[in-house]
A = this chain, B = another copy of it.
Amino acid sequence: MSAVEQPHVLVVEDEPAQREVLAYNLEAEGFAVSRAGNGEEALLQIRENPPDIIVLDWMLPNVSGIEVCRQIKTRAETRDLPVIMLSARSEEVDRVRGLETGADDYVVKPYSVAELMARIRAQLRRTRPAAIGGQLTFEDIVLDGETHRVTRDGKPLKLGPTEFRLLSTFMEKPGRVWNREQLLDRVWGRDIYVDTRTVDVHIGRLRKALRQHGGADPLRTVRGAGYALG
C-alpha cells in the first residue's frame, strides 16, 4: 500500500462480530481503524478524533445511523467527511435514498469486502487523493479503480463486473493463491450461496478477457488450492 499516511476510518456498527470483521479487513488493507458501537460514541469520536471517512451501519440502537449521518452533514465542520452507509436489505436502500440523509455512498449487505474497499477508496480519492493509489499494475496490465477500466499493453480490455472484481482482488496481491472460498467471500460477498465451481467459470471468463488481444495467460491454477495472478 502506497499510503503516505494511513487513512483513518471510523467503523460504526453495533454488532461486535461484524464490526470486528470489517475492522480487521480494513486494517489488513492498511487503514487505521477506530470503532464505535453506537451513535453517541460515533459522534463523540468524530469530535475528538475526526477520521477521514466513516462507515456507518444504518441500524443502530438509540441514535440511528440516519440520524448520525444527518448530524454529520448538518455541521459545517464535518460536512465534508465522507459517509458510507451500510444497509441490511436492498428495499431499505430506497428508503434511505428517499430520506436524503446526505450519505456519500451506500453499500447493501451482504456486501463483498472488495466492493466496500473500492467504495471507500473512491470516497477517499475525492477527499484525500494522495492517500490512495488509484491504479494497480501487474506486468502489462493496468487496472484503474476509479474509472473501472482495465488495459493490457495499452489496449483497453472489456470485462464484466464480476471479472473486474476478481481481477482487482488478484492484483492487490500478485502471486498470492486464493482458494475458492476466499474468492467467493471477497468477490461475491459473504453470506451468498453460490457453488464454488462457479469460481472456475469466472476464472475462465477472466482468462478469456485477458487474452482478447493476444498475450499469455497471467493466471495460475494451483491444483487443490485455488488461483493466483503470476
- Asked whether, in the complex, the Cβ of B114 is within 8 Å of the Cβ of A228, the reply is no
Q: Which residue among A117, A148, A160, A228 has the maximum number of chain B CB atoms within 10 Å of its CB?
A: A148
Tally chain A residues at the interface, Cβ within 8 Å.
38
A221 to chain B, nearest CB (A): 11
9-residue interface stretch from A17-25, A69-77, A100-108: A17-25
- Asked whether, in the complex, the Cβ of B223 is within 8 Å of the Cβ of A160, the reply is yes
Tallying the copies of this chain within the complex gives: 2
Query: What residues of B have a CB within 8 angstroms of the CB of A28 in the complex?
Result: 17, 21, 24, 185, 190
Task: List residues of A (161-188) whose CB comes within 8 Å of B's CBs.
Answer: 161, 173, 175-177, 179, 181-182, 185
A19 to chain B, nearest CB (A): 9
A113 to B19, CA, bound (A): 10
